[in-house]
Amino acid sequence: MTQTCLITGGAGFIGAHVTRELIKNNYKTIVLDDLSGGFEENVPREAQFIKGSITDHELINKIFEKNTISYVFHFAAYAAEGLSHFIKRFNYCNNLMGSVNLINASVNYGVKCFVFTSSIAVYGTNQLPMKESTIPSPEDPYGIAKYAVELDLKATSKMFGLDYIIFRPHNVYGEYQNIGDRYRNVIGIFINNLMQGKPMTIFGDGEQTRAFSYIGDIAPVIARSIEVKEAYNDVFNIGADMPYTVNQLAEVISRVMEKPLTKIHLEARQEVVHAYSDHEKAKTVFNFEPQYNLEQGIKRQVEWALKVGSKKSKDFSNIEIEKNLPSSWKS
């Protein structure tokens, strides 16, 4: 009998890719997305699409009542670490309480495993490379919400027996990314800048380091994780090994796009300066080994972006705190 997976945020970036992988693996898929950051055209035709929010607990319960959900893949979130300081209520309502709605329903309706995409934002400024054994110390509301969900899943597993798998991906990029979002996904922002003939905008001196991870390496591992019993009730960093500075990233993107290297340095913002993680655990349990280097992955994203065209950047309309908001986000 075909088993059913519920994918929240499946019209978004990572969710759209994992949904495709699950379909390849012969699962029935139901995508729940409010389209606040994703696009309905990202949802595969084979998937059932439901427009709605994870904050709507009545809708969540109806979905579980009408369908026998075996697995939940929870991607829906507003993933903007820097902006999360200024949208605390929105962040916690969506990223924390929306997750609780899903966890409650998963317990009540007998879900076999709850797969949660957390983030290396839970580590904060910590020893490098960040390891799963490192005690998290998040420094922004986004990371705090992600870590709270992790802790709730662990407590729920002990109390009610709900199995879970937690992934902590980082700086994922690739096809289906919303390149029109001005607050998150630096690679998408840079590509969109150059497609519009604008300079790339960099906060601070650009010497921040990140290990940028291509979605084609990440999505298949997340999708098949439910078939790896050794992974149950555990946490895994997942992503690329090699860190790059933002300045180096800008050079790679301009080279791939065959555009002049034009960039503007803005005032520095409050952020973790260096963030990359160790992946030995994922390599051991999933035989995870990235196949794409940064230039190869960016080339694939650029080819896709040129087909779909540039996107007009949208302003976030629900800023809750104006104090210390970067000036570039005010216009």
The residues spanned by each domain of the chain are 4-172+213-238, 174-211+242-276+292-317+325-329
Query: What CATH number does the domain located at 174-211+242-276+292-317+325-329 have?
Result: 3.90.25.10
Token pair of 19 as six digits: 């949904």
- Give the active site residue among 27, 71, 123, 142: 142
CATH 3.40.50.720 for the 4-172+213-238 domain, yes or no: yes
- C-alpha torsion sign, points 120, 191, 316, 101: negative
Q: Does residue 55 carry a pLDDT above 70?
A: yes
For residue 94, give the DSSP letter.
I
Lowest pLDDT segment from 77-86, 144-153, 193-202, 211-220? 77-86
Q: Are 40 and 50 in contact (CB under 8 A)?
A: no
Q: Give the span between the Cα atoms of 146 and 141, in whole angstroms.
A: 9
- What is the per-residue pLDDT for 67? 98
Q: Are 103 and 156 in contact (CB under 8 A)?
A: yes
- What is the per-residue pLDDT for 316? 67
Q: Does residue 1 carry a pLDDT above 90?
A: no
- Using DSSP's 3-state secondary structure scheme, residue 314 falls into strand
Does the active-site annotation cover 142? yes
- What is the per-residue pLDDT for 313? 58
> Distance between terminal CA atoms of the chain?
53
Give me the percent of the chain exceeding a pLDDT of 70: 98
Q: Encode pLDDT of 222-276 as tens digits.
A: 999 999 999 999 999 999 999 999 999 999 999 999 999 999 999 898 888 888 8
DSSP secondary structure of 156-212: HHHHH---EEEEEE-SEE-TT--TTBTTS-HHHHHHHHHHTT-PEEEETTS--EE--
- What is the per-residue pLDDT for 79? 80
Nearest Cα neighbor of 274 from 328, 206, 174 is 206
Domains 4-172+213-238 and 174-211+242-276+292-317+325-329 share a fold: no
Q: Give the span between the Cα atoms of 139 and 145, in whole angstroms.
A: 11
Q: Encode pLDDT of 83-138 as tens digits.
A: 889 899 999 999 999 999 999 999 999 999 999 999 999 999 878 899 999 999 99
- What is the per-residue pLDDT for 123? 94
Q: Give the span between the Cα atoms of 225 and 227, in whole angstroms.
A: 5
Token pair of 175 as six digits: 């096809």
Sheet strands (E) in 44-118: 48-51, 69-74, 113-117
Q: Are 128 and 276 in contact (CB under 8 A)?
A: yes
For residue 268, give the DSSP letter.
P
Q: Are 175 and 191 in contact (CB under 8 A)?
A: no
Token pair of 286 as six digits: 């999933």
User: With bands split at pLDDT 50, 70 and 90, how would you rate the model's confidence at 331?
Assistant: low
Q: Strand pairing partners for 113?
A: 71
User: With bands split at pLDDT 50, 70 and 90, how would you rate the model's confidence at 304?
Assistant: very high
Place of tokens 């934002």: 121
Q: Does residue 16 carry a pLDDT above 90?
A: yes
Q: Does residue 183 carry a pLDDT above 90?
A: no
- What is the per-residue pLDDT for 315? 65
Decide the pairing of beta strands 28-33 and 4-8: parallel
Q: Are 246 and 48 in contact (CB under 8 A)?
A: no
Average pLDDT over residues 2-20: 97
Within a 13 Å sphere around the CA of 190, how many CA atoms are in the beta-carbon half?
30
Q: How many residues does the chain have?
A: 331
Average pLDDT over residues 147-170: 98
Q: Are 141 and 84 in contact (CB under 8 A)?
A: yes
Average pLDDT over residues 132-152: 96
Burial of 45 (0-12, 13-18, 19+ CB in 10 A): exposed
User: What predicted TM-score, i.e. pTM, was given to this entire model?
Assistant: 0.94
Average pLDDT, the chain: 94
